Amino acid sequence: MRKLISLVVLLVIVTGIGVSLVVTPFGAEEAEWEPPSRRERVNFGRYYVHEGLEETGATNIVTSVVVGYRGLDTLGEVTVLFIAATGLAAVLHAAAKKPVGSDRKPASLVVFTGCRFLFPLILLFGTYVFVHGHLTPGGGFQGGAVVASAFLLVILGCRGRRLNEETLSLAESLSGLVFVVAGLIGLVVGGAFLLDFLPRGTPYLLFSAGIIPIIYIAIAFKVGSELGAIIDKLSGSPG
């Protein structure tokens, strides 16, 4: 009975979405049919691709959209991530009575050695990804996730080794502070929040694109420490 009702609901949703999407034109390819005078107003992506390199100085247009054009939006997204991590800590904190991990079997020698060998390499790769976020594919969110995967490897491979929660929360708070202070400096200097107050520099170089690398590195630290704290809390709670 319940499966039947669910299937009927699914069918209704399928026909509804299908019909509404078949009649509505959407997507980047459909926008090419617009006359050229209207195209840039209809399709913001064209505008960003054409003007992004001159206006923000970042050769990675996705980065210039995330941090440059929609920096305030990204601040909100980072806040959502912070609230989710805080909620997880609050949900799991109330029930964590005894520390676990001591009664588990240690990982085998191969995993232990591989973990100790790979951990700095993964950290190095993550740092490369987020430092070069305005030049190459990657950025703060991706680099932070790579760094968090290094923490996950440590927790899996070196049993009993826990992350230092105070260091994680300190890094997370400081990076959030850097983001907001960079925005406030723009407000003081030029009258707009997250205004780019640094010189653009030459494109294709590491020190270019104004405040975009600074903010993206701050985002990387924030994402990495928050995901690391999430992994640490989830692995440390008895099942």
Partner 1 sequence: MTFLYDYVHYAGCFALVLIGLYAVLVKTNLIKVIIGIGLIDTGVNLFLVTTGYIRAGTAPIFSEAAAQGETMVDPVPQALVLTAIVIGVSVLALALSLAIRLYRHYGTLDLRKIKELKW
Contact 48, 61 (CB under 8 A): yes
The token pair at 190 is 């030029």
| Number of Cβ within a 10 Å radius of residue 47 | 15
In whole angstroms, the minimum distance from the beta carbon of 77 to partner 1 comes to 4
User: With binding defined as CB under 8 A, does residue 232 bind partner 1?
Assistant: no
Q: Which is nearer to partner 1, 33 or 191 (CB)?
A: 33
Among 131, 154, 217, 223, binds partner 1 (CB under 8 A): 223
**Closest C-alpha to 226, from 52, 36, 69, 85:** 85
User: With binding defined as CB under 8 A, does residue 14 bind partner 1?
Assistant: yes
Among 71, 126, 143, 144, binds partner 1 (CB under 8 A): 144
Contacts for 208 with CB less than 8 Å, ≥ 6 apart = 57, 58, 134, 200, 201, 202
| Number of Cβ within a 10 Å radius of residue 165 | 15
Please give the size of the binding site for partner 1, defined by CB under 8 A.
62
Between the CA atoms of 66, 142, 160 and 111, what dihedral angle is there, to the nearest 10 degrees? 180
Find the binding residues for partner 1 in span 48-67 (CB under 8 A).
48-50, 52-53, 59-62, 64-66
- Chain residues binding partner 1 by CB under 8 A are 2-3, 6, 9-10, 13-14, 17-18, 21, 26-29, 32, 43-46, 48-50, 52-53, 59-62, 64-66, 70, 73-74, 77, 80-81, 84-85, 87-88, 91-92, 95, 136-137, 139, 141-142, 144-145, 203-204, 223, 226-227, 230, 233-234, 237-239
